[in-house]
Amino acid sequence: MPSISIEVEVEDEIYAYQPADNGAMPLWCHGSTVVTRHGEDVFVAGLETIAEQKPLNNTRWVLFHRNGGGDWQLIHRDLTGRTREPSPIALSGSDLLVSANPTLTDEGTYNEPAQPVVFRFDATNPSADPQMEQPIWDESDSFSEHSYRTFAADADTSGVLYLQNEGYEIAHLSLRDTDGWHAQGQIRWPWGGEYAKPQPLRLCYPNVMLRRSSAHFLGVGDIVEPVDAWREAKKQITGREWDYVFRRLFYASSADISAQPFGSWLELANHDATAGSTRNCDLWVDATGDCHILWIDINTDLRIRDQFFPETRFRQSLQYAIVRQGNIVAQHTLSEWNEFFSETDLQPTLARIHITASGQPLVLAQFQDPARGQTHWRAAPLEPEPSWAEVSFDRPMGGTFLTNTVRAGSTSSDYIDIVGSTNSSAGGDALGYARLHVEM
């Protein structure tokens, strides 16, 4: 098993922001990324609240650049449109692409149609004005500010895949190659026919990877609690009328996304029986075509466990599976915590796959100490039985984090660029950055 050494080289605060109170945050697009690396240059797309505007479309995207000298600069602020969600970014060669979803409505309108666009920067001259590109879609006039969009790119081919949800049943696909943008049809969500009220299982926040002509999709179901008794019990706790649950995890692929749609759905996790949950973390496709998948698995909801499933022992784990030609050929638990473990044990909460310059995959994972409320980070080669190395931050970021993933066109690298939430030096919320140097 290869050893690993990680040095924390940089910990920065990129910018402070005000919450938009519109249901989205700067890291809300957690299946895609807002950070990418081009040589010595790092780019981060932020989300700025427009104080004088009302939700939902009361934010705009901003683009930050960190050069080899280590200074962060705000190089662009979008003054052409208002939006709700953060803007995933990708690299296509030296084209730095920022996805956007500006509203088509007048100021003060709560929610109405939106129009997906892409802003193209020159990564070698990022201060120059961007060019606007229009992805091509099959017929659709129903895009809204709830885009749940996904942005993926392949560094080897410079191909880019853009997915945007429409309603609760489908997402539209647009593919960018050397000839420009092309409509690539739709992907239809799995059908939940077993529920009391049959419904599509809208998949949100997906991890998507292009590997030359193939495309791979990993997403979690995002639906309102389908069991009336559980929904009512949680309402007594939260006071909320609505309650979205994330219990089922699905994978699909296409051998050639330019010519054929995604194939049938493979279900990787299902916690409908005990009101558990799951969260997709990452996927990576190796040179043989095997797809390596990480997710967090939580087998029940402790808020209602004693009332409905008193015999169920709570378990939270980081799962790793290998999918080959649509079938799971291996599955391993990389880390696990349950309520009977020692208080010194840590709960896995999120993980990403990073590919080093030599092509070796590693897993960068975040853990929570439930007894002390502390966040810990560890890394290990992506193996069935990982030997974890501690990552020692001065100011460890908690919650969702994004990296310079190969899924967004960053080349494999011995540097891991991380963005996550932190506390502003001036008080309030901020987007933080860290750079790790890896040796394997």
| 286-315: pLDDT as tens digits | 999 999 999 999 999 999 999 999 999 999
Q: Which residue has the higher pLDDT, 124 or 426?
A: 124
| 310-321: pLDDT as tens digits | 999 999 999 999
Range list of H helices, 127-272: 228-238
For residue 179, give every residue at least 6 positions away whose Cβ sits within 8 Å of its Cβ, in sequence order, or none.
none
CA–CA distance from 326 to each of 161, 258, 266, 428 (Å)?
21, 19, 7, 45
Tally Cβ neighbours within 10 Å of residue 68. Answer: 9
Task: Give residue for tokens 């949100």.
Answer: 204
What does DSSP assign to residue 151?
Answer: E
Q: Is 174 exposed, middle or buried (0-12, 13-18, 19+ CB in 10 A)?
A: buried
pLDDT recorded at residue 1: 55
pLDDT recorded at residue 344: 63
Q: Quick one: pLDDT band at residue 372, thresholds 50, 70, 90?
A: confident
| 198-216: pLDDT as tens digits | 999 999 999 999 999 999 9
Nearest to 11 by CA among 418, 423, 410, 404: 418
| 68-79: pLDDT as tens digits | 888 899 999 999
pLDDT recorded at residue 421: 96
Least confident of 103-117, 209-223, 246-260: 103-117
Q: Quick one: pLDDT band at residue 341, thresholds 50, 70, 90?
A: confident
Tally Cβ neighbours within 10 Å of residue 399. Answer: 15
Least confident of 162-171, 340-349, 419-428: 340-349
| 122-164: pLDDT as tens digits | 999 999 999 999 999 998 778 999 999 999 999 999 999 999 9
Nearest to 138 by CA among 187, 208, 98: 187
Tally Cβ neighbours within 10 Å of residue 359. Answer: 9
User: Which superfamily is assigned to 5-439 in CATH?
Assistant: YVTN repeat-like/Quinoprotein amine dehydrogenase (2.130.10.10)
| Residue pair 350/330 in contact by the 8 Å Cβ criterion | no
Is it the case that residue 270 has pLDDT exceeding 60? yes
Tally Cβ neighbours within 10 Å of residue 148. Answer: 22
Give the rounded percent of residues in the chain with a pLDDT score beyond 90: 92
Which structure tokens are listed for 289? 């075509």
pLDDT recorded at residue 345: 87
Is it the case that residue 343 has pLDDT exceeding 70? no
3-state secondary structure of 368: strand
Nearest to 280 by CA among 93, 66, 49, 31: 31
Which structure tokens are listed for 274? 């005990």
The CA-based angle 41-44-48, given to 5 degrees, is 145
Q: Which residue has the higher pLDDT, 14 or 110?
A: 14
Average pLDDT over residues 357-377: 95
Average pLDDT over residues 181-209: 97
CA–CA distance from 366 to each of 312, 363, 383, 393, 429 (Å)?
25, 10, 17, 12, 20
pLDDT recorded at residue 377: 98
CA–CA distance from 250 to each of 27, 207, 406 (Å)?
22, 11, 21
Is it the case that residue 165 has pLDDT exceeding 60? yes
Tell me the whole-structure pTM to 2 decimals: 0.97
Is it the case that residue 370 has pLDDT exceeding 90? no
| 38-96: pLDDT as tens digits | 999 999 999 999 999 999 999 999 999 999 888 899 999 999 999 999 999 999 999 99
| 375-418: pLDDT as tens digits | 999 999 999 999 999 999 999 999 999 999 999 999 999 999 99
Q: Report the chain's mean pLDDT, rounded to a whole number.
A: 95
